[in-house]
Copies of this chain bind each other. A is one copy, B any other.
């Protein structure tokens, strides 16, 4: 099997490549060929025994996707995106990368299909940012998409494209609305959701962290390991079960910031949580106020997607996967 990851240099792309390398396969089939593409050259995952192509490519350039697809991968993960903060700060870049990039990809797939029956599975990383504004506490699978950011708008538009190109038989598409990934490793990025990870990651590294919102803020989260698990699970799913509803909200853990901090104290002790400084940021508080707090993800559950059930587990996953199992 040949697997392509667009956004292969990003956090999720790297972790997905490492998972495939560790498993040696995907969806019950061996993976002989891995293509990783991003605007910067991705790294070959450790220990992968098959062939790896790591390519720097800008999907916003017309024609760039075509060159990439001549090898006809069986599964294409489309994880490449400009994050929410950047899409809001730079309207044109957000639409160019997040919307035009998807369209170029889909049209390049169509163009490559002349005279053959190659119909790749396309797993698209959507986001719960497709929901926004006044929302119920628990959002069901048939609730309308009401993005309140340009990023969420672009993800919702891509979901529509994915469904239409799937319906018309050009791809086998599935869109996963990913929860906020927590604990996100590495440096903070431009996402306004950064503090949900920061208040866990930084104290566990012995560093101070700022909490810009009140402790009763509730959010929908999953660990990086679990999020990669969603992507892996989507590779083997019988897509006929989607019934034409191509995108679905992934399960997550609905937790308040207060519950996050309590879990951190249980796992790592009060000296660690003492590193969290409360410093209200009204701008971030207002943005986060417009985000979804919880979902009923019955469809995803019926299809076998599962998430963490308590925040302690999310912290333990971070300690195992990022800190070599060691507390500070």
Q: Which residues of A are in contact with B by a Cβ distance under 8 Å?
A: 91, 95, 103, 133-134, 142-148, 150, 153, 156-157, 160-161, 163-164, 167-168, 243-245
Complex Cα distance, B146 from A245, in Å, reads: 7
What 7 pairs across the A-B complex have the smallest Cβ distances?
A153-B164, A144-B144, A157-B157, A153-B160, A142-B144, A157-B160, A133-B244
Which of B142, B144, B147, B167 contacts A148 (CB under 8 A)? Answer: B167
Question: Contacts of A142 on B, CB cut-off 8 Å?
Answer: 143-144
| Interface contacts beyond A133-B245, A144-B145, A153-B160: sample of 13 additional A-B pairs, CB < 8 Å, sorted by A | A133-B243, A133-B244, A134-B243, A142-B144, A143-B144, A144-B144, A145-B160, A148-B167, A150-B164, A150-B168, A153-B164, A156-B160, A157-B160
Minimum Cβ distance to chain B for residue A149 (Å) = 8
User: How many chain copies does the complex carry?
Assistant: 2
Known contacts A91-B168, A168-B91; is-contact A160 B133 (Cβ 8 Å): no
Interface contact A153-B144, CB-CB below 8 Å = no
Complex Cα distance, B160 from A95, in Å, reads: 12
Minimum Cβ distance to chain B for residue A87 (Å) = 10
What are 22 inter-chain pairs, A to B, with CB distance below 8 A? A95-B103, A133-B244, A133-B245, A134-B243, A143-B144, A144-B144, A145-B160, A147-B160, A147-B163, A148-B167, A148-B244, A150-B164, A150-B168, A153-B160, A153-B161, A153-B163, A153-B164, A156-B160, A157-B157, A157-B160, A157-B161, A160-B160
Complex Cα distance, B142 from A145, in Å, reads: 9
